[in-house]
Amino acid sequence: MKVARLFATVVMVMALTLALAGPAAAGPKTIKLSLHIPPKEEVPSYAAILYFKSLVESQTKGQIKVQIFPANQLGSERESLEGLKMGTHQMDLTSSGAVPNFFPEIQCLAMPYLFSSRAVAWKVFDGWFGQELAEAMAKKTGMRMLGICENGIRHFITVKKKVESPADLKGLKIRTMENPAHMKMVKALGASPTPISWGELYTALQQGVVDGYELPTPLTEFAKLYQVSKYVILDGHLYDPAFIWINEKFFQSLSPEEKSIIKNAVIEANVIERAKQAYWTEVQAAGNLVKEGMVLTSPSPEARAQFRSITQPAVAEFIKEKIGTEWTDKLNKAIADAEAELAK
């Protein structure tokens, strides 16, 4: 009997001690962040994600840890987004390539010669259009887009023939990604769109399988394609966005303060990524390509207008067939708003 009373007293004392101590402190939360680029700080998006990690961990005093998995460690872009949607990891940074598999409406951004400048694109993405896009994505996919950064501005690059106008592309075999909108654009210019995987492009150029390709200048430098190609026309036919994602269920599980820290960290990282990408594209890579013997030219205003007038109707019809006009109408309005604001 005395033993039973002693045991009961011990249990009560332990319970009272735990109650007075309050709930146990929760351990740090972990964000697994998937990347599809090499872990090199000279790559703008990798440098930006390192900055994001530093901000989040310092401002949450270590209560949120960010683990970075670069170079497709968590799968290809499509595989990684599928994992993000299921919650096997919490964040991702991808190009636009795999996004139509989850959110077809993103194809509104595939219109060639859409933005007259980076400044217009940034205002559109950071304004009401970007916010509406993020909410629609979260609702439809379970993945929230926290920010849109830059994956580069794409130009036409050829091996032997200098391109100065749309007529110069006629009959050429141009490598594209397996993106139907990109293929429609190239076909409208009288060229033959030829999808070839990234890893096989160098050899295809070397062996004459294709006569050219379309890529941002940094990727041309990075893959040493200057060794097998010669001419670049800086037509800027596509502003290629990249998206910073977070699993919506995980995001909604965070406290208001944690959400604010993550959102603000993305905003700051985005500024760094865009600035570094612009410098890399317009100054560093372009200058290095010239040093390697490539010839870079800009189209005349007349030629640029020709490129736009030839490609836009064909791609617009394709996009309309795929997703209707709701998002293209919104995008066109957002562009007009941004241009008007910047003109003040």
Per-residue tens of pLDDT for the chain, all 344 residues: 444 454 444 444 444 444 444 444 467 999 999 999 889 898 899 999 999 999 999 999 999 999 999 999 999 889 999 999 999 999 999 988 889 999 999 999 999 999 999 999 999 999 999 999 999 999 999 999 999 999 889 999 999 999 999 999 999 999 998 788 889 999 999 999 999 887 899 999 999 999 999 999 998 998 899 999 999 999 999 998 999 999 999 999 999 999 999 999 999 999 999 999 999 888 899 999 999 999 999 999 999 999 999 999 999 999 999 999 999 999 999 999 999 999 99
Q: What is the structure's pLDDT at 222?
A: 86
SS3 content of the chain, % helix, strand, coil (to 5): 55, 20, 25
Residue 80 · residue 34 · CB < 8 Å:
yes
Q: What is the structure's pLDDT at 148?
A: 97
Q: What is the structure's pLDDT at 12?
A: 45
* pTM (2 d.p.): 0.86
Residue with tokens 């893959």: 223
- What is the residue type of 242? A
- Strands 29-34, 192-195: pairing is unpaired
Sign of CA dihedral 271, 274, 279, 282: negative
Residue 94 · residue 86 · CB < 8 Å:
no
Query: What does the radius of gyration of the chain's CA atoms come to, in whole angstroms?
Result: 25
Bridge partners of residue 68, in order along the sequence: 33
Rounded CA gap, 79 and 92, in Å? 11
Closest listed residue to residue 208, CA positions, set 148, 160, 139: 160
Tokens of 185: 């654009």
- Which of 102-117 are b and which e, b meaning 16 or more Cβ less than 10 Å from the residue's Cβ? bbebbbbbbbbbbbee
Q: Give the HSE-up count for residue 281: Cα atoms under 13 Å, Cβ half-sphere.
A: 20
Q: What is the structure's pLDDT at 26?
A: 60
Q: What is the structure's pLDDT at 16?
A: 42
Rounded CA gap, 140 and 193, in Å? 32
For 62-93, the DSSP string reads TSEEEEEE-TTTT-SHHHHHHHHHHTSSSEEE
Rounded CA gap, 204 and 77, in Å? 24
